Amino acid sequence: MLEFRKILFPVDLSEVSPKLVEFALTMAQRFSAELHVINVVRTLMAQSQALDFSSEEIEQLRERYYAKLGEQLDQFVQKHLYCYQPVVTAHLLGDPADGILDYIEKQDIDLVVMGTHGRKGLDKIIFGSVAQRVVQMSPAPVLTVNPHRLDHAS
């Protein structure tokens, strides 16, 4: 019988993330698994000359931005996953797909539950689908959910 001891639930903290909670929670409860909730954000790049900020000011802006995202992850978990233990959280910097894949290997994740759609627009066009890369390269099984199809299901 399959046994999933550690389940990874990567979130981008967009309006899509809460729609996926039920799937991650159901799988974690079904297998009494440790639920890992992570957020991976790209490193902010800025040219101080273009923004007319010093490198110290840019670094302070980056630190505040990353701290705010970490707080948002904590708030997301408190709001949507307060009823489940154990939950492990991590806020990571870098390419989202690479960060997720690296986390899967380092934490010995048994199953990944993630959305097929998250942030949209130019970011998706330039960087491609995070879910697609994770599905193709993950050493663990990946359960993908199209959150936009959930709106039409009754």
Q: Which domains does the chain have, with CATH numbers?
A: 26-150 (3.40.50.620)
* Cβ 143 vs Cβ 27: under 8 Å: yes
Of 82 and 126, the structure prediction assigns the larger pLDDT to 82
pLDDT digits (tens, 9 = 90+) for 5-62: 999 999 999 888 999 999 999 999 999 999 999 999 988 765 555 566 777 887 888 8
pLDDT tens digits, one per residue of 134-144: 999 999 999 99
Is 3's pLDDT higher than 80? yes
CA distances from 142 to 26, 48, 57, 60, 113 (A): 15, 40, 40, 37, 6
